Amino acid sequence: MEKVQRVYKAHCLVLPFPLQGHINPLLQFSKLLDHKQVKVTLVTTRFIYNTMYRGSSCTAFESISLETISDGYDEGGRAKAESTQAYLESFSKVGPQTLAELLEKLSGSGCPVDCLVYDSFMPWPLDVAKKFGIVGAVFFTQSCAVDNIYYHVNKGLLKLPLTDSKILLPGMPPLEPLDLPSFVYDVGYNPAFLEVVIGQFSNVDKADWVLCNTFYELEEQVVDWMTDFWPVRTIGPTIPSRYLDKRLEDDKDYGVNLFKSNNDACMKWLNEQRKGSVVYVSFGSAAQLDGEQMEELAWGLRRGKSKFLWVVRELEAAKVPEGFIEETTEKGLVVSWCSQLEVLAHEAVGCFVTHCGWNSTLEAVSLGVPLVAMPQWTDQSTNAKYIRDVWKIGVKAQTDEKGIVRVGEVENCICEIMEGKRGKDIQRNAMKWKELARKAVDEGGSSNKNIDEFIAILVKR
C-alpha cells in the first residue's frame, strides 16, 4: 500500500545535549509533538548518531527525522577531548556553524523549520535561531527548583562560596548548603560543569519559550515565581505514554540506550516475586560509586529482609565484593543493565534505591514508587531534599564523616519504607503523585494544555 503523506502544522528542530539523560527527555517531547501533527527533526552529533541511533528499532524514528551536526569530535565524541572544558569549547565553536548549515539545507526542503527547541546546557543555538528568524524554545531537563538555584548563582544573588547555613530562595523551602547541587556547595568540584549549569541563563531572557521537564502540580510555587518573568511552560513528565496516559500507541520506551539490557532475565525474576517485595537499586548511566560505598551497599542489601534487583554497570562490576553474588543468589539478582521503566512499573517493586537524578526521580514519581535517596553529585542533593521533605515520597540515606552511607543505614532506610509505619504514609504519597502526573499529561491536564498552547502559537506565527 502507498504510504499516506502526513500534513504537519509546523516544523520543529529539536537539539539535545549529547548525554543519554538529556537525549531521552527531548526525544520523548519530540514524540508528543509528532503525535500532535508537528513535524520533528531530531538533531544530534555525528558521533552520537553513529553509536546510539543508527539501526535503532524504536518506532519513534518512523516519523521523526534524524539529522546531525558536529561537535568537533566526530570520530570519538567527548571521550576524545582532552577535558570537559575542551569539549565544550569545541562544541560551542563548531556546533553553531554546522547547525546553521543544517538550517540552510532544510530551508529549501519544502518544509522549512519554524522553531528550534534546544537543550539549556547549550545557550548558543538560540543565537542561531534568531539569525534565521525562527522561534527559539529553551528546554530545561532538570527540575525548576534546581533551575531556580542556578539562576540565582548566575545573577549573583546567591554568592559563592556559600557562607550562610540557611539559604532562602523564592518558591522553595529553606535549604542547607548540602541541599544544593554539588557544583554550588563545592565550587571547586567541577568548574567546567559549574560554568555549563550557570551559563544556561546567559541569554534565557531572549528565548521565546522556556519549557521545563516537570509538571505544574509537582513544583507549583517555584513555577509560579519563574512564570512572573519568563514564558515558562511545564510539559512533563516526559515518560513514554504506556506508563502514563496510554494515548500514544506503542510508546513504551525512550528509544536510546547506552548499554545492552538484561531485560528478559529481570522480568522473569520479578515475575516470580511477591507484590511490593523487591528493592530495586540503580544509579543510572553515569554515576560512579567508590569501592568502599559499593561494599557497604552490598552488605546492606544482604543484611536486609527484602529481596533486591541491583543494576551494576560492567565498568562498576569489579567493585562488587568478592563472593557477594554467589552468596545472595536466593535473595537477589545482579544485572549489568535493564529497562528502568519496566522494572519500576512491575508490581513486585516496592522501593527504589537511587542517586536521584532528575529522570530517575520523575520516573519514580510517575510510577508511584517510594525512594531511598543516595545522592552523589550535580542536582541530586536538591532532588533528595524534595523527595524527603516536600513530596514526602521517600527517605534520604545519611552519610558519615567520610561521605559514605554505611551498612546499617542502607538496611534501616530500606526497612523504613518496606516495613515501617512511616513507609505506609510514603507509599500513599507516592500513589498520590502518580495520579497527579498522569492527569498532567492526559487530555485537559496542565502539561498537555501547555503543549497545545505552544503548538497553537507556533502555527499562528
| Cβ atoms 405, 270 nearer than 8 A | no
**Number of Cβ atoms within 10 Å of the Cβ of 290:** 12
**Residue 22 annotated as catalytic:** yes
The catalytically annotated residue of 11, 22, 152, 355 is: 22
Number of Cα atoms under 13 Å in the Cβ half of residue 400: 11
3-state SS, 87-108, equals: HHHHHHHHHHHHHHHHHHHHHC
Number of Cα atoms under 13 Å in the Cβ half of residue 2: 3
Amino acid identity of 240? P
Instruction: Quote the distance between the C-alpha of residue 138 and its chain's center.
Output: 16
Q: Is 333 helix (H, G, I), strand (E, B) or coil?
A: strand
Grid coordinates in use for 258?
547506552
CA–CA separation, 338 and 261 (whole Å): 5
Grid coordinates in use for 308?
533486591
Spell out a b/e string for 330-353, using b for 16 or more CB atoms within 10 Å of the CB, else e: eebbbbebbbbbbbbbbebbbbbb
| Cβ atoms 258, 344 nearer than 8 A | no
DSSP 411: H
Spell out a b/e string for 225-245, using b for 16 or more CB atoms within 10 Å of the CB, else e: bbeeebebbbbbbbbbbbbbb
CA–CA separation, 367 and 409 (whole Å): 25
The catalytically annotated residue of 34, 71, 119, 251 is: 119
237 preceded by a cis bond (ω within 30 of 0): yes
| Cβ atoms 211, 140 nearer than 8 A | yes
DSSP 109: T
**Residue 35 annotated as catalytic:** no
Amino acid identity of 169? L
Amino acid identity of 377? W
Q: List CB contacts of 438: < 8 A, sequence separation 6 or more.
A: 244, 245, 366
DSSP 395: E
- Sheet containing strand 278-282, edge to edge, reads 332-335, 307-311, 278-282, 349-354, 371-373, 394-396
CA–CA separation, 416 and 349 (whole Å): 15
Q: Give me the phi and psi of 40, to 5 degrees please.
A: -120, 130
Q: Which residues are catalytic?
A: 22, 119
